[in-house]
Amino acid sequence: MSIELIIRDKVVEAVEKLYGQTVDSSLVQLQNTRKEFEGDLTVVVFPFLRMSKKSPEQTASDLGKFLQDHVAEISRFNVVKGFLNLVISSSYWLNVLNDAVRQETYGYKQVTPESKLVMVEYSSPNTNKPLHLGHIRNNLLGFSLCEILKANGYKVVKTNIVNDRGIHICKSMVAWLKWGNGQTPESSGIKGDHLVGDYYVKFDQEYRKEIAELVEKGLPKEEAEQQAPSMQAAREMLRKWEAKDPETIELWRTMNQWVYDGFDVTYRELGVDFDKIYYESETYLYGKEEVLRGLREGIFYQKDDGSVWADLTGEGLDHKILLRSDGTSVYMTQDIGTAKERFNDYKIDKMIYVVGNEQNYHFQVLSILLDKLGFEFGKGLHHFSYGMVELPNGKMKSREGTVVDADDLMAEMVEVARKTSEELGKLEGYTEEQARETYKMIALGALKYFILKVDPKKNMLFNPEESIDFNGNTGSFIQYTHARIKSVLRKAADKGISVDYNLDQGIAVEGKEQELIKKISLFPDVVSEAGEMYSPAVIANYVYDLVKEFNQFYHDFSILGEEDPGKRNLRLILAETVGKVIKLGMKLLGVDVPERM
């Protein structure tokens, strides 16, 4: 338990014992002591004056004496008007440092057989295009959330739902049949998901031409959109697919496999993975069964054209279509089926969907429909809603081919990392292979940190050049600080300076050292807060604050040049522990940190 929590609890106890009043811990206001006064933490006593019926100074003095008598970590106190300044003993800070340096996974809770099981869905790509920048934010948020939940003691299943059926898939298939001339990833040298994506763009280009020609002949635009030959061909292909036409199914499997092979490469490069992958082509059938059951049981209703709907006006919403008049399903149908299948496969205690905020309504409806169908887990679904990511030149559009492909972006990031590192001379003396691996580590670290440091709920602007900067709030700055710490530890070893982890309890812990240990002591609470808030940004911004604090310490104090062996030993342990916490924190973001740089 952190010293802040200990003090907070003891203040509550003090008020009860001294004044006979029960108070909530939220009433205890704690803040860092101002620099002009002696102390580490300050208790604001004004909220307790009506209970003590004494002056601010006397109330603060009462509380100070109680805390000093009952909290071993408090060595002394002083009172400034209505503020109680508490001095925390050096031995406490040394014990915090001892705990942190000795625990391999400091700040993490252990997963046990009794731990609750959380399933997190992320990525959710379509098989008609490669992954793009928007998918990158989704994947990074999902993967990081899983790591944070594991660090909070949960069992986690990472899952993906692949949208591998529907009219959008048929558009790529039609275009390939019309203009592909048998082209394959092997014959073209084009990555499979990119190749299929090219035909999706080609379809849209030709479709637009056909619409323009029909409009020129006098057809209204809406009618032209329906009668365009390409769209009619795509609809016919979807009909054949649902009828399980052998040739259509074979082409569908072939082109989807090209995409899956491409996705696998991108996922590996990005450093994300999954424990279980579901496919819409399978789960939509389970969804249709549930919708038809709901129709039979009077939960849903059918219109004259045969379509099936849910009346959600009682929940303050509208009417939602679940099956079209031709019997084909919608996304909601598929998500009902997927949810049912997942809870059949796993004993899930919590289901979390990592999906953009444009789908807020969708998941609100999904939760209601599952509840109406009698699934207990319906109300417990959580939509991890996040904002969109844009580039300096605006939004991306898949159909028009203006998206930034994930592969292209990662390659660009590696190139930016190479140029920046070479200009700054960061990797001098590296072999070509070492440099290449480090460029990649810097590039992906910059990409991941830049995206994850932003509050997930907010829209964000991504600028590759800004993300790789060895100064400022960037992954590169944090990685460089970790490498700097490792360099100090190597130099100590080279000089024959060994670290004694049995810290001398009599050693004084001074201002900057104490501030660093304070930061370290907060890490377990930060991990817990990130888990409660579902926010990797909490971790990212903590690590940056820790790194800033260390660099200030490194600038102001010598480590290896310190003549007092006890002090030098303390500072070496402090540096090593900061390095460990940086590594543990960045691991929760999916970011690797280099040993040298």
What are the pLDDT tens digits along the chain (597 aa)? 678 889 999 999 999 999 999 999 999 999 989 989 999 899 999 999 999 999 999 999 999 999 999 999 999 999 999 999 999 988 888 989 999 999 999 999 999 999 999 999 999 999 998 998 889 999 999 999 999 999 999 999 999 999 998 899 999 999 999 999 999 999 999 999 999 999 999 999 999 999 999 999 999 999 999 999 999 999 999 999 989 999 999 999 999 999 999 999 999 999 999 999 999 999 989 999 999 999 999 999 999 999 999 999 999 999 999 998 988 888 899 999 999 999 999 999 999 999 999 999 999 999 999 999 999 888 889 999 999 887 776 544 444 445 678 998 898 888 888 887 777 776 777 788 888 888 899 999 999 999 999 999 999 888 777 777 767 889 999 999 999 999 999 999 999 998 988 877 778 787 889 889 989 999 999 999 999 999 999 999 999 999 999 999 999 999 999 999 999 999 999 999 999 999 999 999 999 999 887
Residues written for the chain? 597
| pLDDT at 512 (0 to 100) | 86
- Quick one: pLDDT at residue 402? 53
List the alpha helices (DSSP H) in 20-132.
49-52, 56-70, 90-102
Q: List own/partner pairs for 166-169 with CB under 8 A and 24 or more apart.
A: 166/238, 166/280, 167/234, 167/235, 167/238, 168/126, 168/128, 168/200, 169/126, 169/127, 169/128, 169/252, 169/255, 169/256
pLDDT of residue 290: 96
Specify the CATH class of 406-587 in words. Answer: mainly alpha
DSSP 457-509: TS-EE--HHHH--SSSSSHHHHHHHHHHHHHHHHHHHHTT-----S--TTS--
Asked whether this chain's domains 281-404 and 406-587 adopt the same fold, the reply is no
Two tokens at 490?
Answer: 């190597």
Contact assessment for residue 227 and residue 219, using Cβ atoms and an 8 Å cutoff: yes
Residue with tokens 């209601």: 368
CB 352 within 8 A of CB 121: yes
Q: What type of residue is 236?
A: E
* The CATH homologous superfamily of the domain defined by 3-88: Arginyl tRNA synthetase N-terminal domain (3.30.1360.70)
Q: What 3 state SS string does 516-571 have?
A: HHHHHHHHHHHHHHHHHHCCHHHHHHHHHHHHHHHHHHHHHCCCCCCCCHHHHHHH
Which amino acid is residue 221, in one-letter code? Answer: K
Nearest Cα neighbor of 535 from 140, 223, 127 is 140
**Residue at token pair 């909490």:** 538
Question: Is 237 within 8 Å of 247 (Cβ atoms)?
Answer: no
Best CA proximity match to 280, nearest among 224, 334, 209 = 334
364's enclosing H/E stretch is helix 360-372
- What type of residue is 276? K
Position of tokens 């016919």? 236
Query: CA angle, 373 as apex, 369 and 376 as ends, to 5°?
Result: 95
Residue 503 and residue 514: Cα distance in Å, rounded? 15
Which class does domain 281-404 fall in? alpha beta
Backbone angles phi, psi at 574, to 5 degrees: -60, -45
Residue 420, pLDDT score: 79
pTM: 0.89
Question: CA-CA distance, 251 to 196, in Å (whole number)?
Answer: 12
In the structure, how many helices (H) and strands (E) does the chain have?
A: 21, 14
Q: Which amino acid is at 9?
A: D
Domain boundaries, the chain: 3-88, 281-404, 406-587
Residue 393: what pLDDT? Answer: 62
Q: Considering only CA atoms, give the Rg of the chain.
A: 30
- The CA–CA distances, whole Å, from 144 to 68, 93, 291, 383, 530 equal 41, 30, 34, 16, 10
